[in-house]
Amino acid sequence: MNEFYYLDISLKLAAEPDQLLPVYFKSCLEQALVRIFGEIGGQTTVDLLKFDTKQARAIVRVPSNIYVKLRSAIALIGQFQDIPCSFVVHKAGPLLLALVETHLEF
């Protein structure tokens, strides 16, 4: 079994944020995990492999045992920097190569 899962995620915002930086994007995902699963259950490594500020889209890598937790946490995120939002997972899989088709749309 593969160690990691890769996700192609985009952020849909109701308005323009003050700053859309990769660190804020990653922090939003990590905070959602902690909010839902607690300090211990939410502690994990979320790696941001690629981030496109203009499209608010990222390629994220997480340990495979956290994948389901991250998908749950993403579904429950409703705000980004106090702006109503939603996250869309375009593609996910245990191989980074599986995202190539979507990655080319970046």
pLDDT of 8-66, one tens digit each?
A: 999 999 999 888 999 999 999 999 999 999 888 778 889 999 999 999 999 999 999 99
Residue 104: pLDDT over 80: no
Asked if residues 60 and 48 have their Cβ atoms less than 8 Å apart, the reply is yes
Q: How confident is the model at residue 71 (pLDDT cuts 50, 70, 90)?
A: very high
Mean pLDDT is lowest, of 2-6, 23-27, 52-56, 85-89, for: 2-6
Predicted confidence at residue 45, as pLDDT, reads 85
Asked if residues 73 and 13 have their Cβ atoms less than 8 Å apart, the reply is no
Predicted confidence at residue 106, as pLDDT, reads 52
pTM for this entry: 0.87
Predicted confidence at residue 41, as pLDDT, reads 76
Helix axes 67-76, 22-41, angle to 10 degrees: 110
Task: Estimate to the nearest angstrom the gap between the alpha carbon of 47 and the chain centroid.
Answer: 9
Q: What would the two tokens of residue 86 be? A: 């939603």
Domains of the chain: 4-94 (3.30.70.3250)
Residue 94: pLDDT over 80: yes
